Amino acid sequence: MANNASNETTKKRINMIVFAGVAVAVVVAAFIAVFIMFNNNSQKPAGTVQFMTNPSCTMVINNKDRVIEVKYDNEDAETIFSKTNLEGKTINEAAQLFVKLSCEAGYIDTDYNSNGQKVEIIVTYNDNGKIDKLQNQLVSTINKYFDENGVIAAAVCSRMDELKQQAQELGTDVNLYILSQTILSFSEEYTQEELLQMSEQELLDIIKNKMQELEGVACQYYNEYSNMAKNKLQELENKINAILKPVFEAIGEFDFEFTLDLKVGDLETQINSSQLSQQLKDTVNNIIKSLEDSINKIVDDVNAEIEEAKNTIKEQSDSIIADAKKKLESRIEMYEKSFEEHKQYFKEHKKQIQQRIQQYRDSLVATQN
């Protein structure tokens, strides 16, 4: 009997251990699944917040309203935030830090005699119902900072009506329109028509990926490279057309202009399908073939020049940004001292300055109405 009781107790213990092990395994598996889901979602873009001022930047946020990517839209922003990592912060924390550093660097006038300054914000989100809420939070956060530091300034989202009208004229949603314009501002890979056919999530993904591609290179230098490349390619087309012009003037049968996306073989097909005599076709084809090598050489030369220009601009931008950072550090040091003096003055004249802040904001509302 004693042995049976002992065996029964042992079985119960084994069952409890097995059950506990299964329970722990289930909990761990669930935890891992939640962690993976959260980690994936944390890097999935849900919206953007653009600060349309100087310094200017665009922040990509996830569905937890945390910043996952930042694109600085000008050199001033690139240098001011060179030592500050906004990624991982909530958008409210990032917005407050944005205006704080902008004030300390002198880009937002903190003089109590200032006429006032707007900080304009544009918000997109894959949940339209959340846009107004997010805008109100950001305006409140930024204005609170201004209030507490005696800065005669105001955060506004005043361009939305204008943007909605532009979106309506294109027959699209304002979110899609803003996101498409954001992409077009730093990428030439898409047309507006192509972008407006995409979903909001696809546009957000493009923005996030493009920001990663451009990381470390100031956007203005990227644009400079793009413009240089376009100019070089235009020069190429002009050179080729200058060579071909006498040929087609001599033929006089049809008007033709060479473009880089038209291959020499296509040109030969067009000539052979024309009403020219066979002798004239042979003559023209011989001229075209003799030009083919020189055209390919020009294309190779231009592409090499473009690649060299791209590398040179990147090296120059790194050097220029490094120099600008040094100058800016000195400037920020000077403005930080001035800002501390301003805060002391604000403490002593708080009521009068708060009245001026309110008057400025009331004037903005009156202007909008």
DSSP 66-127: BEEEEEE-SHHHHHHTTT---TTSBHHHHHHHHHHHHHHTTSS---TT---EEEEEEEEESS
Domain membership of residue 339 (yes or no) is: no
Instruction: Quote the pLDDT of residue 29.
Output: 40
Assess whether 264 and 166 both reside in one domain.
Answer: no
Own/partner contacts of 356-360, CB < 8 Å, gap of 24 or more, are 356/112, 356/152, 357/146, 357/147, 357/150, 357/151, 357/152, 357/153, 357/154, 360/115, 360/116, 360/152, 360/153, 360/154
**Contact criterion met (CB below 8 Å) for 252 and 272:** no
Instruction: Quote the pLDDT of residue 92.
Output: 95
Domain membership of residue 122 (yes or no) is: yes
Asked if residue 55 has a cis previous peptide bond (ω within 30° of 0), the answer is yes
Supply φ then ψ for residue 64, to 5 degrees. -100, 10
339, 340, 341, 347: CA torsion to nearest 10: 110
Assess whether 208 and 296 both reside in one domain.
Answer: no
Instruction: Quote the pLDDT of residue 291.
Output: 67
Domain membership of residue 229 (yes or no) is: yes
117-125 and 67-72 beta bridge pairing: unpaired
Domain membership of residue 69 (yes or no) is: yes
Assess whether 231 and 325 both reside in one domain.
Answer: yes
Assess whether 204 and 235 both reside in one domain.
Answer: no
Last residue within a domain, chosen from 194, 215, 236: 215
Assess whether 254 and 205 both reside in one domain.
Answer: no
Residue matched to tokens 């073939």: 289
Burial of 46 (C-beta count, 10 Å sphere; 0-12/13-18/19+): buried
Assess whether 229 and 210 both reside in one domain.
Answer: no
Assess whether 181 and 325 both reside in one domain.
Answer: no
Domain membership of residue 40 (yes or no) is: no
Cα–Cα–Cα angle for 220, 226, 230, rounded to 5 degrees: 145
How would DSSP label each residue in 131-200? HHHHHHHHHHHHHHHHHHHT--EEEE-TTHHHHHHHHHHTTS-HHHHHHHHHHHHH--SS-HHHHHTS-H
366 vs 369: CA distance, rounded Å? 5
- The token pair at 83 is 């030592």
Assess whether 121 and 243 both reside in one domain.
Answer: no
- Name the β-bridge partners of 72: 57
Provide the angle, in degrees to the nearest 10, between the axes of the packed helices 278-348 and 264-272. 140
Assess whether 229 and 188 both reside in one domain.
Answer: no
Last residue within a domain, chosen from 215, 243, 277: 215
pLDDT in tens, the chain (369 residues): 444 544 454 444 434 433 333 333 333 343 334 333 444 456 788 889 999 888 888 999 998 999 998 888 777 777 777 778 888 999 999 999 999 999 888 889 888 888 899 999 999 888 878 888 999 999 999 999 999 999 999 999 866 777 888 888 888 888 888 888 888 877 778 888 999 899 888 888 888 887 776 655 545 555 665 666 666 667 766 776 676 666 666 655 555 565 655 555 666 676 677 666 777 777 777 766 766 666 677 667 766 776 776 677 667 666 766 776 677 677 778 888 888 888 888 888 888 888 999 999 998 887 766
Structural domains in the chain (count): 2
96 vs 186: CA distance, rounded Å? 26
Q: Which amino acid is at 181?
A: Q
Domain membership of residue 155 (yes or no) is: yes
**Residue numbers of the domain that contains 288:** 221-330
Instruction: Quote the pLDDT of residue 160.
Output: 72
Instruction: Quote the pLDDT of residue 182.
Output: 84
Assess whether 135 and 252 both reside in one domain.
Answer: no
Q: Which amino acid is at 193?
A: E
Domain membership of residue 104 (yes or no) is: yes
Domain membership of residue 17 (yes or no) is: no
46 vs 60: CA distance, rounded Å? 8
For 249-261, b where at least 16 C-beta lie within 10 A, e where not — what string? Answer: eebeeeebebeee
Last residue within a domain, chosen from 177, 198, 215: 215
Own/partner contacts of 188-196, CB < 8 Å, gap of 24 or more, are 188/226, 196/170, 196/172
Residue 24: partners with Cβ closer than 8 Å, 6 or more residues away: none
Please count the other Cβ atoms lying within 10 Å of the Cβ belonging to residue 55: 21
Assess whether 66 and 208 both reside in one domain.
Answer: yes
Assess whether 71 and 174 both reside in one domain.
Answer: yes
